[in-house]
């Protein structure tokens, strides 16, 4: 499977997901979905709109997703990195330095 993200503005966070073994389920300029290799119900979803970016993150140890809307790529990458690290820690996964 190709590990290159189409939307290059998300490359910094994309590399962190790939380093932790997440799978790239959807990969376009507008939609990116990372799926947990252990539980495919846990997804980080990014939808790029004209004026903002919708982000959905899994809540650790639950079947619930949290959705928010952000205004730029930098904030989106920072938000995703924070939630990815939190998810991996709460799920008791080995976390490399991200």
Could you report the per-residue pLDDT of 14-42, keeping only the tens digit for each?
999 999 999 999 999 999 999 998 888 99
> Alpha-carbon distance 11 to 13, whole Å?
6
- Does the pLDDT value for residue 60 go beyond 70? yes
Average pLDDT along the chain? 90
Domain boundary assignment for the chain? 8-88
pLDDT at 94: 60
Q: Left if phi > 0, otherwise alpha if psi is -120 to 50, otherwise beta: which for 9?
A: alpha
Say if pTM beats, i.e. exceeds, 0.95: no
Could you report the per-residue pLDDT of 74-90, keeping only the tens digit for each?
999 999 999 999 999 88
């Amino acid at each position: 499977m190709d590990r290159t993200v189409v939307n290059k503005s998300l490359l910094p966070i994309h590399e962190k997901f790939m380093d932790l073994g997440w799978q790239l389920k959807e990969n376009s300029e507008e939609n990116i979905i990372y799926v947990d290799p252990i539980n495919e119900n846990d997804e980080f979803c990014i939808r790029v709109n004209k004026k903002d970016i919708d982000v959905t993150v899994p809540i650790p140890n639950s079947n619930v997703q949290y959705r928010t809307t952000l205004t730029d790529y930098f904030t989106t990458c920072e938000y995703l990195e924070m939630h990815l690290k939190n998810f991996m820690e709460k799920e008791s996964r080995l976390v490399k330095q991200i």
